[in-house]
Structure 1
Amino acid sequence: MSTIDFQLGPRYDPLKVEEVVLRFWSERGIPEKWRRFNGDKGLFAFLEGPPTTNGFPHVGHVRGRTYKDIVLRYQRLKGYSLWVQAGWDEQGLPVEIEVERKLGVKVKKDIFERIGAERFSEECNSLVDHYLRYWVEDGTRRLGLWLDVDNAYETRRPHYIEHVWAFIKSVHEKGLLTEDYRVLPFCPRCETALSDAEVDQGYEDREDPSIFVKFPVEGAEGTYLVIWTTTPWTLVDNEAVAVNPDADYVLVRVKVNGKVENWWLAEKLMQGVLGLIGVKDYEVVRRVKGRELEGVRYIHVFLNEVPVHKSHGNAHYVIAEQFVTLEEGSGLVHIAPAHGPEDFEAAKRRNLPVTNSVEINGVFNNNGGVFNGMYWLDVSQRVIEELRRKGLLAHHGKVIHRYPHCWRCGTPLIYRTDRQWFIRISTLRGKMVEELSKVKITPQSLRNRFDDWVANIKDWVISRSRVWGTPLPVWRCRDDPGKVLVVGSIEELKKLAVELPNVPDEKLVHRPWIDMVKLRTPDCNEWVREPFVCDVWLDSGVAWIAGVDGLRNRELWGRLYPFDWVTEAVDQTRGWFYSLLATSVAWMGKAPYKSILITGHVVDKFGQKMSKSKGNVIWARDLFSRFGADVTRLYLASKAAPWETLPVNPDEFTGYRNILTVLWNSVRFADMYMRLDNYDPTRHSIDEVLPRARSEDRWMLSRYFSRLIRITQYLDEFRIHEAAREWINLVVDDISHGYIRLIRRRVWVEGGDEDKVTAYTVLYNVLRGTLIIGSVFVPFITEYLYKAFVRGGEESVHLAPIPEVRRDLVDEKLEKAYDAVFEAVSLSAAIRNNLGIKLRWPLSDMQVRVKDPEAASLVNSLIDQLSYLSNVKQINVTSELKCDDNHVKAEGVLVDVCLNKVINENLYYEAMAREVVRRVQVMRSKANLDLEERIMVYITGDDEVKRAVERMRDFIERETRGLVTFSEVGKPLLTMDWDIEDKRIKISIGRLTQ
């Protein structure tokens, strides 16, 4: 049994509370018991989007994982059994880049020539181990997230990689795997191709050259085709110029630099181009449709500098293409088939040459002529210089535009032709759209983003020219390269192998060990593996089957698939959500999930993207050590809708700690008074006390159940922020500022009368239920308070059933009436604040006009409560306010009030007495006197204060549980000097001896 003592001290310390609770959970195995729960509602299967283990968890991760935990705890609370396996994404560029930094790798060949692929892979594996510890601790355990990390799936493990192989073998057998020569995005730093989904995640604003270039028309001296480009380096591989066949084009006679030239431009863009260049003297001499220009030949701008173009006799002419738009530029587009997908397709249709002068590392090769050996970005500047020297640069400017960058290292991408392996996923577009339509997506407003992406998907390039990843299981016959073999398992690999390295499977399924394997079949003496690894999104994309080792655990996988729920950030509509859908439809013909919650990103408090280079990343460990997990969770859960971008401002966290302090103090108040009166909650029920319940009791129960209904409704709809706000309002507004203030008079009286029992029974049951439903948001403090306060409950708040909703006790009219009461109190407090009159100081009268006539009569029955809360002697509920110079008016939504500001002698004496009471209570706390102890109160000082004390002696003694005297008796425990409204008094207190 646990020996942990859950003490309700005077102050809430989140770090101490969480330390105690973590120890309690560990000692009693609470998370394991929670996960093993066999609910009567069936199974709720959650598929974890695996975080990449290449760095420390930050606040963005914490936000997403907080949502996961809230939803899972709520499903368990509702009575569902859970599948909550954790998962880790451990391969690919994210890990490789971190290792490259560690080892000082500048270019990819360093891996093979200086480091060695074997050491590099081992370093990658070690890096994963290093960061995994932080993810298990900071990103999971310390957060209070109860995913099953002990049985987590890991994408680097052999059985997991086998599922990727099995998938590729499946699509190969279906004719969906193909090798092709296409234009693809490449990262020149990482030296690998990227998929469209990866490209979509890396767009950034970038400044590039914006140039207008004059292509000389063959046989027409002084006549030019004016093209516009922001990628000058691609001019080296230009093979054609495209126009829109249906647009109007004009030949414009211009005068520039004292020369007369003829320029072909789109008529719609002519004035903009000439104005930009500064041409004022021009004349339109001819007008044609774009299709009429087709076939016009031109002289390549680098015909002599790039000699390969001299052999391209079937190139360098105008073509007409519908993809040419007239939104910007000149309306004439230069075509570089090796560097643009549309250019490439246009070239294939016309049998144009496809010249690729750029290697995978972004360096120009021999095809580039004078640009050979130069980096592509440097080539752009050199091209501009050469064009200016040759008199072919019409204009050179700058443009800031969205440009694709590597999603991992941030390097600007290049598009180039290469031979890679693809899954012909575009052939499944219709089926994927159909399956996606069956999935519930929250929020609905982001559904179109995902739908549009899937409806326009292109084939998926899955090969990567890297090291640390799932090896592409495609083998080619050395003697007959047209023959292809796809290996689907380790068993099949070993069966076909004639040479195997003597290493465990953990290494065998990685480079370079897999590259040492030689296969032989009856129809091929030696098979050679294609030297690629797989797209890392393919790894996590098969988590729906690989995560549970579904090829071997068919029965378990069959119970989980399709999974009930997945959630990740909005970029995963083109990342993980997409790869899951693509692999599942391609392999099994159906979507792998039933429901998706798409979450937003976090930014810093200034709205800036967080990055290590900017130094504005907020790390999970720093948040937890400074504020604790509960405060962090409550902030993230309630601050914004899950799908909204959230600016995170740590300066605001204190307010959320204050909310939890209110909860702590409320439970502590209840516990202290109930123990003082020996109240046993197990002997009393709501139904028992209902017949004698006061209006505030019935209001509290109604408001509690109303909040509970809304909280569960919002959680069912993934409106987590609204659910958390409802819970906060229940704690702060309803319980603490509302009900506890209303019942203080009732619980302060001596004895254990039925009225006090009624208040205790209502407060106990409301607090108990508030802790249980609140445990989904703040699991640490609710556990601590539940253990300290609840009698005869479950072993843990997280093992308790969801609170029962008593709809028969919901009274909307009563709630509206109390809303009016509390607004009147708030308005009177605002008036007091403006006048500098403390709430402790009583005022004589206040008029209240209730705007809802139906609620007015109910409010009239609540004037005693309103009088007490506002500290006003007389309340008049009226249909018309009559305010004179002694009154101050304030208007609200539900009520208007008119408060008398005059303080007469009687009110003044009572106010002074209340000031004395407050100071005695402060001293009682400082002296560590128990609440039930009666005390002696000795007062000396200002005569006016003494007169107030004398007149209000009964009130002071009742409120302080003391005996007031003006002559010191015995030795006091504590003596303090006070200023009350500029009047000096001395108060001493001591235990009252019988």
Structure 2
Amino acid sequence: SAEFLWTMEATLATVMARGGVTAYEVAETTTGDKLVGLAYAHPLADKVPYQATVTGEWVHRVVSSSTVEAEHTGLVHSAPGHGPEDFELGQTLGLPVFSPVDGRGHFTNEAGVYADKPVKEADAVIIEDLRAANALFAAETLVHAYGHCWRCKTPILYRATVQWFLRVAPIKAKMVDEVRRVAWYPEWAGAARQMDWTQNLRDWCLSRQRYWGIPLPIWRCTKCGHWIVVGSSDALRKAQGYADGMDLHRPGIDRVVLPCPRCREEMRRVPDILDVWWDSGVASWASLGYPARDDEFRRWWPEDWIVEGPDQTRGWFNSQLAAGVVAFDRAPYDSVLMHGWVNGPDGRQMHKSLGNVIEPETVVRKFGVDALRFYMLSVNALWDDKTFQEDGVRNANRTLNILWNVLRFATTYMVLDRFDPTTPDFASISGHLRPEDRWLLSRLEGLKMTVNAEFATYSLHRAFRSVESFILDDLSRWYVKLVRGRTWTEAEDRDKLAAYHVLFETLRTVAVLLAPVTPFIAEAVYQRLDGKKLSVHLLDWPSAQEERLQPDLERSMSIVQ
């Protein structure tokens, strides 16, 4: 007897070949919209009783969807209980959410004869049942994109479950305003990336079905279903099972019972816990003890600045933003720095499976942690991804070694001459400064200005590249060569003391500028050079002395160089 099959015209030959059909004819041609509303019989209704009894205007009918790919027959089944796109389409059309899969990935009793079978293991049985019902046109294995667990690489099963959500619509406009208010580094991290995420933000699923975490503070009546949100432990003090000072995590909190204000029956906590991103979202004030007390909160909140990677657009940046707007009608931070990723030497993300992982400890043992830090902050902008190169760390180590050699040169002669920067002080020998001394001091003041300006916009790569250039080009390769002969003079000489003062101030300033990124060598330089304070980190941050700037002298020196 004749059989009829609806398929896309463009794929007719391919579909027939896959079904092993060589002789066929086109009985009818129509457009897809004409098929919408066409009813069909579920092929396994006798196996899954639910499918034989379910009713609804669009149940077992062809519907239109913008997510179906133009491939194969162009017709796919819809499972509103097993995928976000199908769920949303089902909600639009009033389709019931049928999800006969439990938390183990096994079919429930609603799945009829397939009950208790692991979902993927049941595939073969279902295929054979379709074949027996003469409802299987072709069966083959297709390779396509599919969600997998990022940890164990196991395919994911989507299933619809009852959850608790934070409704975003009432706060979205304020969240968007706050994204505009906050200072973002780089600017596009907020104006483009965070703004796009926030404008398209969906309701936030707050509940999780796990054991450990912050218990969802919702108690529901076991009889009438009335539920309440408990805002603090004070509301539980008169509850059955509560004791002062008790651990409010599971399992103890699950034994706390409240009376229902409506029917006086027992209210028990729903078993879910809160999404950990809610923990992170309230961290800025919860860590200060607020709202139990407000002294630290009034002193430290809101946050001046936070830093994280691009994945936190939907993570920490977003969770803090949403929680802050709910609680305080503002974001809990005023500025955000979004850093990039560190990739392997091949430019790909580091994964053990790719064999491109670089262990920081290995690099530190070889070059020291200061060299690694200096490389990481100077190689490119903080917000750009970094392709790790060991040669870059080697070069950074070389720069720091050159700085150390300059220190050794200076202190060797300073010690021999018992140099004391306070007697005579800088002012008393300023008249003995040579052009090269005034030039280096001018360059040093320019360096301070550059570093401070770049720090203001978190352009640390440009700041520390400037420091590196100063160490290599201005200090080591030029100034030290020019003054070396002056340090050899054995007699008490103001000209020599002037060079000592310039070297002392320069090295001390460079140590302070390097202290945030290379704390160990900065400390060593400072202690060997001066050491009057306990640590280099106790010195004031340097500001430029503009009266020392001599642009004309710098231009003349560049000609000499």
TM-score (structure 1 length as normaliser): 0.52
State the distance in 2 between where 1:694 and 1:270 align. 89
1:295 alignment partner AA? G
SS at match of 1:593: coil
Cα pair distance change 1:339/1:521, threshold 3 Å: closer
Equivalent residue for 1:306, pick from 21, 41, 48:
48
1:441 matched to 2:181? The reply is no
Q: Deviations over 1:364-398 (max 9, x none)?
A: 22333443333333345655566577573447353
The separation in 2 between residues aligned to 1:650 and 1:383, in whole angstroms, is 55
Match in the other structure for 1:778 = 518
Q: 1:313 to 1:578 in 2, by over 3 A?
A: closer
Q: In the aligned structure 2, how far is the partner of 1:373 from the partner of 1:675?
A: 84
AA aligned to 1:461 is: C
The number of residue pairs the alignment matches comes to 556
1:689, distance to aligned residue in structure 2 (A): 4.7
Segment drifting more, 287-296 vs 377-386: 377-386
Code of the aligned partner of 2:62: V
Shift of 1:564: 0.7
Structure 1: 5+ residue stretches without partners: 1-219, 225-262, 820-858, 867-994
- Structure 2 unmatched ranges of 5 or more: none
Distance 1:319 1:295 in 2: 6
How much does 1:665 deviate? 1.5
Residues 619, 753 of structure 1: alpha-carbon distance in 2 compared, 3 angstrom cutoff: same
Contact 1:469 1:534 in 2 (8 A): yes
Q: Is this contact kept in 2: 1:266–1:331, CA < 8 A?
A: no
CA distance in 1, matches of 2:72, 2:295: 60
Aligned to 2:172: 429
| One-letter identity of the residue aligned with 2:164 | W
Q: Please, which of 441, 463, 466 is the counterpart of residue 726 of structure 1?
A: 466
Distance 1:349 1:412 in 2: 28
Partners in 1 of 2:189 and 2:77 — Cα distance? 36
Aligned to 1:538: 278
Q: 2:163 matched to which residue of 1?
A: 420
Distance 1:471 1:623, change over 3 A: farther
Q: Which residue of 1 aligns with 2:89?
A: 346
* Contact 2:343-2:350 within 8 A present in 1 as well: yes
1:589 is displaced (CA, Å) by 1.0
Letter in 2 for 1:302: L
Q: Report which of the two has the higher share of strand.
A: 1
Map 1:141-160 to 2 at 5 A.
Answer: none
Structure 1 segment 503-902 matched on structure 2, within 5 A: 504-505=245-246, 508-520=247-259, 523=262, 524-611=264-351, 617-618=357-358, 624-650=364-390, 652-684=392-424, 688-790=428-530, 793-812=532-551, 814-816=553-555, 818-819=557-558, 859=559, 862=560
Structure 1 residues 469-494: Cα deviation after superposition (integer angstroms, max 9, x where no partner): 1111111112211x11222222322x
Deviation at 1:443, TM superposition (A): 1.3
SS at 2:158 equivalent: strand
Q: What corresponds to 2:4 in structure 1?
A: 223
1:421 counterpart letter in structure 2: W
Q: 1:741 to 1:222 in 2, by over 3 A?
A: farther
Under a length normalisation based on structure 2, what TM-score does the superposition of the two structures give?
A: 0.89
The 3 A distance-change label for structure 1 pair 429 and 409 is farther
Shift of 1:608: 4.0
2:204 to 444, 447, 460: 460
Partner-residue secondary structure (3-state), 1:610: coil
Shift of 1:496: 3.0
Aligned residues of 2:178 and 2:330 also touching (Cα < 8 A) = yes
Counterpart residue type for residue 424 of structure 1: R
Larger mean Cα displacement after TM superposition, 354-363 or 586-595: 354-363
Q: CA–CA distance in 1 between the matches of 2:55 and 2:231?
A: 47
Does residue 365 in structure 1 map to residue 121 in structure 2?
no
Amino acid at match of 1:772: V
Measure the CA separation in 2 of the matches of 1:691 and 1:730: 25
Q: Is the 8 A contact 1:520 1:527 kept in 2?
A: yes
CA offsets 1:883-938 (integer angstroms, 9 cap, x no match):
xxxxxxxxxxxxxxxxxxxxxxxxxxxxxxxxxxxxxxxxxxxxxxxxxxxxxxxx
How many Å separate the matches in 2 of 1:418 and 1:629? Answer: 49
Asked if 1:472 is matched to 2:216, the reply is yes
Aligned pairs for 1:288-303 within 5 A: 288-303=30-45
> The residue matched to 1:476 in structure 2 has which SS?
strand
Q: Is contact 1:324–1:333 with CA below 8 Å preserved after alignment?
A: no
Q: 1:609 to 1:496 in 2, by over 3 A?
A: farther
Give the conservation status (yes or no) of the 8 Å contact 1:667–1:767. Answer: yes
Q: Decide whether aligned partners of structure 1 residues 329 and 675 sit closer, same or farther in structure 2, where only a CA change above 3 A counts.
A: farther
Q: Which amino acid aligns with 1:320?
A: S
Maintained 8 Å contact 2:289/2:296? no
Measure how far apart 1:514 and its partner are.
Answer: 1.2
Conserved 8 A contact 1:266-1:326:
no
**In 1, Cα distance between the equivalents of 2:188 and 2:407?**
41
Deviation, structure 1 residue 530? 0.3
Query: In structure 2, do the counterparts of structure 1 residues 804 and 349 end up closer, same or farther at CA, with 3 Å as the change threshold?
Result: closer
- 1:103-114 to 2 correspondences below 5 Å: none
Seen in structure 2, the aligned counterparts of structure 1 residues 803 and 757 have a Cα distance that, compared at 3 Å, is: same
- Residue 732 of structure 1 aligns with an amino acid whose one-letter code is L
Measured after TM superposition, the shift of residue 511 of structure 1 is 1.0
1-structure distance, mates of 2:21, 2:480? 80
SS across alignment from 2:422: helix
Q: 1:803 to 1:449 in 2, by over 3 A?
A: same
Answer with 1 or 2: which has the greater Rg: 1
Greater shift in the superposed pair: 470-479 or 695-704: 695-704
Mean alpha-carbon deviation: is it higher for 335-344 or for 591-600? 335-344
> Which digits, 9 at most, give the CA deviation of each residue in 1:239-276, with x for residues without a partner?
xxxxxxxxxxxxxxxxxxxxxxxx33276x77887899
Q: How has the CA–CA distance of structure 1 residues 676 and 503 changed in structure 2, closer, same or farther, with 3 Å as cutoff?
A: same
CA contact (8 A) 1:421 1:462 kept: yes
- 1:312-351 map, 5 Å: 312=54, 314=56, 315-321=59-65, 323-324=66-67, 330-351=73-94
Q: Which has the higher contact order (CA 8 A, sep 6+)?
A: 1
What is the CA-CA distance between 1:279 and the residue it aligns to? 8.9
- Whether 1:399 aligns to 2:143 is yes
What amino acid does structure 2 have at the position aligned with 1:469?
G
Q: Which of 225, 229, 252 does residue 486 from structure 1 map onto?
A: 229
In structure 2, the CA distance between the partners of 1:550 and 1:620, relative to structure 1 (3 Å rule), is farther
Residue 300 of structure 1: CA displacement?
Answer: 2.7
Partners of 2:511 and 2:268 in 1: CA distance: 63
Alignment of 1:95-110 (within 5 A): none
Identity of aligned residues (%): 37
Which stretch shifts more, 553-562 or 586-595?
553-562
State the alpha-carbon separation in 2 of the partners of residues 388 and 605 from structure 1: 52
Describe the superposition over 1:425-470 as per-residue Cα deviations: whole angstroms up to 9, x where unpaired. 2332111111111011111233312111111111111111111111
DSSP-derived class of the 1:485 partner:
strand
User: By how many angstroms is 1:579 displaced?
Assistant: 0.6
Moved more, 604-613 or 427-436: 604-613
Supply the distance in 2 between the matched residues of 1:739 and 1:421 (Cα, whole angstroms): 68
